[in-house]
């Protein structure tokens, strides 16, 4: 994972919609690709065909912070949605809440998920797309607001740590667990 910069400074793009599902962020036809990059041009593919779509407005172009409504990224587990947002240049997404899998996928991919209260998100939306904003990942602040971030996740994001390498360091503990708990099922003999 590419480390996240300690400070993210850039413009915001506002998408004032609740319950945006990952089918909208990255439609199914792009899930047949077997690559991990190159999804940026496909985000919000159907909505983006409308010239009036919020993210098509000139002030939203080149934004690095996406401000959205509650339950953003609900639905399908497709990590492609997060890859697309990253590829499109976003480094942080701000919402009152996220779909659980989407939020985890963000943390695994290096897209910062920021949860603020409804009122705080409203205040950022009122700034409008194109407004300049700074996120301090280490201090856990965005503009004048503070956000929660698990210290372990923060360190992983800032250092770009490889989850698998970290977990493999616990190989002895995993082996001990396996020795003490024989597997109830096996797919080998089916």
Partner 1 sequence: MGSTLFDRVWEAHVVAEPSAEPPLLYIDLHLVHEVTSAQAFDGLRLAGRRVRRPDLTLATMDHNVPTDERPPDSLARAQLEALRRNCEEFGVPLFATGSGREGIVHIIGPELGLTQPGLTIVCGDSHTSTHGAFGALAFPIGTSEVELVLATQTLPQHRPGTMLLDVTGDLPFGVTAKDVILGVIGRIGVGGSIGHVIEYAGEVIRGLSMEGRMTICNMSIEAGARAGIVAPDDTTFSFLEGRPAVPKGAEWERALDRWRALASDPDAAYDRVVEIDVGGLAPQVSWGTNPGMVVPVDGVVPDPATFADPGDRENAERALTYMALEPGTPIQDIQVDRVFIGSCTNARLEDLRRAAQVVAGKRIAPTVRALVVPGSAGVKQQAEEEGLDRIFEEAGFEWRRAGCSMCLGMNPDVLQPGERCASTSNRNFEGRQGRGGRTHLVSPETAAATALAGRFVDVRELALEPVA
| Residue ranges binding partner 1 (CB under 8 A) | 16-19, 21, 23-24, 27-29, 31-36, 46, 69-71, 74-80, 82, 97-101, 104-105, 108-109, 150-152, 163-164, 167-168, 170, 173-174, 177-178, 181, 183-188, 190
Q: Among residues 32 and 119, whose Cβ is nearest to partner 1?
A: 32
Per DSSP, the three-state class of 79 is: coil
Q: Among residues 71 and 141, whose Cβ is nearest to partner 1?
A: 71
Per DSSP, the three-state class of 15 is: strand
What is the nearest approach in angstroms of partner 1 to the Cβ of residue 126? 14
> Is the Cα dihedral 32, 35, 38, 40 positive or negative?
positive
What is the nearest approach in angstroms of partner 1 to the Cβ of residue 9? 27
Per DSSP, the three-state class of 135 is: strand
Cβ atoms within 10 Å, residue 99: 21
Q: Among residues 43 and 101, whose Cβ is nearest to partner 1?
A: 101
Q: Among residues 57 and 108, whose Cβ is nearest to partner 1?
A: 108
What is the nearest approach in angstroms of partner 1 to the Cβ of residue 189? 8
Beta strands of the chain (E only): which ranges? 7-15, 65-68, 92-95, 112-115, 132-136, 141-142, 145-146
What is the nearest approach in angstroms of partner 1 to the Cβ of residue 163? 6
Q: Among residues 69 and 143, whose Cβ is nearest to partner 1?
A: 69
What is the nearest approach in angstroms of partner 1 to the Cβ of residue 76? 5
C-alpha span between 49 and 186 (Å, rounded): 48
Q: Among residues 11 and 75, whose Cβ is nearest to partner 1?
A: 75
What is the nearest approach in angstroms of partner 1 to the Cβ of residue 134? 27
- Using the structure block, give the residue that is written with the tokens 């990255």: 26
To the nearest 10 degrees (0 to 180), the angle between helices 100-109 and 151-159 is 40
What spatial distance separates the first Cα and last Cα of the chain, rounded to whole Å? 37
């Amino acid at each position: 994972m590419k480390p996240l910069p300690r400070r993210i400074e850039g413009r915001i793009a506002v998408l004032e919609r609740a319950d945006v599902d990952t089918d909208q962020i990255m439609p199914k036809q792009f899930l047949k690709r077997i690559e991990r990059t190159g999804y940026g041009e496909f985000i919000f593919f159907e909505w983006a065909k409308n010239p009036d779509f919020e993210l098509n407005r000139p002030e939203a172009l080149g934004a690095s912070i996406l401000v959205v409504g509650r339950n953003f990224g609900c639905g399908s587990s497709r990590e492609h949605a997060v890859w697309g947002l990253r590829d499109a240049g976003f480094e942080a997404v701000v919402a009152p809440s996220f779909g659980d899998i989407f939020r985890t996928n963000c943390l695994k991919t290096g897209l910062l998920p920021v949860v603020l209260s409804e009122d705080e998100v409203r205040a950022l939306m009122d700034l409008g797309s194109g407004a300049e904003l700074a996120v301090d990942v280490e201090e856990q602040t965005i503009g004048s607001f503070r956000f929660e971030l698990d210290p372990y996740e923060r360190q992983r994001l800032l250092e770009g740590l490889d989850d698998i390498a970290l977990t493999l360091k616990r190989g002895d503990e995993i082996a001990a667990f396996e020795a003490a708990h024989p597997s109830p099922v096996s797919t080998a003999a089916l």
